[in-house]
Amino acid sequence: MAVMSRSSNLFFMLLGAVAVGAVVAVLAATGALPERVEQRTTTAEAPTPTSPAAVRTAPTSVADIYQRVSGSVVFIGAQTSGGSRSASGSGFVVDSAGHIVTNDHVVENADRFTVRFGEKGQPITAKLVGKDPSSDLAVLEIDPGKVKGGVEPLKLASSSSLRPGEAAIAIGSPFGLEGTVTTGIVSALGREIEAPNGFSIPGAVQTDAAINPGNSGGPLLDADGRVIGVNSQIASESGGNSGVGFAVPVDTVKDVVPKLLEDGKIDRAYLGLASGERPATPGALVGTINPGTPAAEAGIRTGDLIVAFDGKAIRNPSELSLAVLKEQPGDEVKVELRRGDSTRTVTVKLGKRPDQLAQ
């Protein structure tokens, strides 16, 4: 499903896919949805992170956290075979087998990948294991034996237990400046951001930790140095950091990565409608419905208010998105909705989400 846009004076910028030799910027018509921005960069000197095999003790400061985990955060280069596109971003080690998590938009359209540990490390050839544009996540794989001292996976926290105001630490390679650390707080939870294929990513973590192009795919950490999200987007008027960043929640990472390691891709359930909010009214207000979609076939109409999905109460569009993501293509679910003064329940047979959201 998708979410109806809300007008704003902000435009959203998708981070990390940093092209060499071209600048492409397309402004969203409404200014309310994320958009791809690719920028020219140069490599600058940066502090050399600690070895992945360095002793890791309980942190007492951001400096301690950085020393303990920065050796597990990598610089990613992505190129096409013909050399028509070169991009870069960040990533982090997720297991001892050499798997690295990053954003889908960092590796999008590329077929050659390298990973570098530390500014002075040698590039290591990586292969793409799998990618999921719907969550903006991808997994690369390297030979851990080629990393001096071995690899050390970062620990994963739980985004479901986060609270606004908790500490947030971002590590990555903004503008190619590897090993950069910034700090802030979790400024909001449950945001929706746009995925590379046009669908929505629910449950995003909002932070005021400074992130910029090149941070994409890098970890957002808590005060214990555990991953709480994957930095993906910023909201900006100027084209740079404005203090509002968004990360794909780590609970989504926990769900997506094992599936990518097994199959390389994910087939997602599809309801086929856009929804928004009705002021002061719990539920998901149905907007656009494309003909032939599961929602249309079930008789759902524009203006209906969805209040329950598969027996679970729906309070907002984000909860509807999350509920659909928990299902599989072909599943039949009961959808309770309000139409005018009446309440009715319809049965929807969910379809398979298309590769790209129809406009």
DSSP-derived secondary structure for 325-338: HTS-TT-EEEEEEE
Q: Residues 70, 159, 216, 318: which is the catalytic one?
A: 216
* Integer CA distances (angstroms), 178 to 70, 123, 142, 144, in order: 10, 13, 19, 20
Q: Residues 90, 105, 132, 222: which is the catalytic one?
A: 105
Q: How far apart are CA 256 and CA 74, in angstroms?
A: 20
Q: Residues 90, 99, 104, 136: which is the catalytic one?
A: 136
The bridge status of strand 112-116 relative to strand 167-172 is: unpaired
216 annotated active-site: yes
Q: How many CB atoms lie within 10 A of CB 210?
A: 19
- Structural contact between residues 274 and 254, judged by C-beta atoms closer than 8 angstroms: no
304 annotated active-site: no
Angle at 16 between CA 10 and CA 18, to 5 degrees: 105
Q: How many helices (H) and strands (E) does the chain have?
A: 5, 24
Greatest alpha-carbon span in the chain = 67
99 annotated active-site: no
**Any idea which residues carry the catalytic annotation?**
105, 136, 216
